[in-house]
Amino acid sequence: MSHTIAELETPIPVVDLDRLARNLDRAAAYATTHGLALRPHIKTHKSPRIAAEQLKRGAVGVTCATPFEAELMSEVCSDVLVAYPPVGSARASRLAALPSATKLTVALDSLRAIDDIAAAARTADRPIGVYVELDLGMHRVGTPTLDEAIALARAVRERPPLEFAGIAFYPGHVRESVDQQQTKLDALDTSLRAAIDAFDAAGLHPAVVSGGSTPTLWHTHELSGVTEFRPGTYVYNDRTTAAIGACAWEDCAFTVLATVVSTAVPGQAVVDAGTKALGREPMRGTDSADGFGSLLDRPDVVVKSMSEEHGILDLSSTSWRPAVGDKVRIVPNHVCIVVHLNDVIAGLRGDVVETSWPVAARGRGYDL
């Protein structure tokens, strides 16, 4: 039975299906145009159904962070990258227990991770590909020097059934406006050239150079040697992505539908989406924007503060005055966290709820 957005209980995440399809198509076309392998990070949607849409459009495989994500994705995808250090025997053996038909690759930056995943691969008697992770500026994970990276690649080679499959980096430090990224992109390009040359000189040609993010998505082809890219946020986009110009406001496919529950205090309206619906994510990479989300139809109206179940809309710079019971759609600052706060997402065609899907890979999926 189809129903309309007006009938939905709130707060609830809703996705505009036409915008979602457009976002998926645009990145797939970019990959084709530039001969790049698209391996989307599914941490944004955590849904096998959306992963299947990405694969249908030519994605070579998916990227995951957690074992649970990898398990659920292996139901729809035969080529899974876990771009997260496979440290600890519990994590490593859970990854090695993925279906044997699934091609599994991990990214890592330590000998300990190599030993853990090598032991799990031997026990499971399966090959596992390894990307050696480089720190090219984010300073989160990745070896700081090429000598260390090359030593890790050699250690991988010495531990079959592990296979050295390439190098990886994540440009998470490039978060400024798209038109102000050039200096950092140039530095990345220089670092990548040096890395590929050093690996080649060591006789360890990296068959795959894996990088990419949503803020840098449309510049990926300008980065030397990159063969595959892993954007995640681009499926839904969010207020941050729009603010830095990596998408248009009209490309924000994901909103939280909320109801105005109080206008008693002058100058504000209270909606039923607080931190438990919107998260408490700051805007990253932008100086000007504040608040925790803004209205899809009125981007100048922001959620200025929150309690767990209350979001306070700032009406001080608008003449718009909503009534109690009105519905609003809020574009969150950082969509990935908001998706993970929810069990189910409603898919909209216009104002009609056409479908829904679970956020299947949320949580850890521990079997205790």
230 binds ligand PLP (CB under 6 A): yes
Complex with ligand PLP: residue 215 or 293, whichever CB lies closer: 215
Calpha distance 325→328 (Å, rounded): 10
**What does the H/E/C string look like for the chain?**
CCEEHHHCCCCEEEEEHHHHHHHHHHHHHHHHHHCCEECCECCCCCCHHHHHHHHHCCCCCEEECCHHHHHHHCCCCCEEEECCCCCCHHHHHHHHCCCCCCEEEEEECCHHHHHHHHHHHHHHCCCEEEEEEECCCCCCCCECCHHHHHHHHHHHHCCCCEEEEEEECCCCCCCCCHHHCHHHHHHHHHHHHHHHHHHHHCCCCCCEEEECCCCCHHHHHHCCCCCEECCCHHHCCCHHHHHCCCCCHHHCCEEEEEEEEECCCCCEEEECCCHHHHCCCCCCCCCCCCCCEEECCCCCCEEEEECCCCEEEECCCCCCCCCCCCEEEEEECCHHHHHHCCCEEEEEECCEEEEEEECCCCCCCCCC
Within residues 161-200, the interface with ligand PLP by CB under 6 A covers: 170
Complex with ligand PLP: residue 126 or 284, whichever CB lies closer: 284
Nearest distance from residue 303's CB to ligand PLP, in Å?
Answer: 21
329 binds ligand PLP (CB under 6 A): no
Complex with ligand PLP: residue 191 or 213, whichever CB lies closer: 213
String marking each residue 70-89 x if it binds ligand PLP according to CB under 6 A? -------------x------
Complex with ligand PLP: residue 102 or 241, whichever CB lies closer: 241
Calpha distance 137→134 (Å, rounded): 9
Which residues, 6 or more positions from 167, have their beta carbon under 8 angstroms from its beta carbon?
131, 132, 133, 134, 149, 195, 196, 199, 206, 208, 209, 210
Query: Binding residue for ligand PLP (CB under 6 A) from 11, 232, 279, 285?
Result: 232
39 binds ligand PLP (CB under 6 A): no
231 binds ligand PLP (CB under 6 A): yes
Complex with ligand PLP: residue 63 or 255, whichever CB lies closer: 63
Nearest distance from residue 182's CB to ligand PLP, in Å?
Answer: 18
Nearest distance from residue 143's CB to ligand PLP, in Å?
Answer: 15
Nearest distance from residue 228's CB to ligand PLP, in Å?
Answer: 11
Complex with ligand PLP: residue 123 or 180, whichever CB lies closer: 180
Complex with ligand PLP: residue 171 or 293, whichever CB lies closer: 171
Q: How far is CA 359 from CA 51, 226, 243, 305, in A?
A: 12, 31, 26, 26
Number of residues this chain uses to bind ligand PLP (CB under 6 A):
13
Query: Binding residue for ligand PLP (CB under 6 A) from 23, 47, 74, 213?
Result: 213
233 binds ligand PLP (CB under 6 A): yes
67 binds ligand PLP (CB under 6 A): no
Within residues 86-145, the interface with ligand PLP by CB under 6 A covers: none
Query: Binding residue for ligand PLP (CB under 6 A) from 12, 38, 41, 48?
Result: 41
Query: Binding residue for ligand PLP (CB under 6 A) from 74, 143, 214, 237?
Result: 214
Nearest distance from residue 23's CB to ligand PLP, in Å?
Answer: 11
Piece in contact with ligand PLP (CB under 6 A), picked from 97-105, 186-194, 213-221, 344-352: 213-221
Which residues would be at the binding site for ligand PLP (CB under 6 A)?
41, 44, 63, 83, 170, 213-215, 230-234
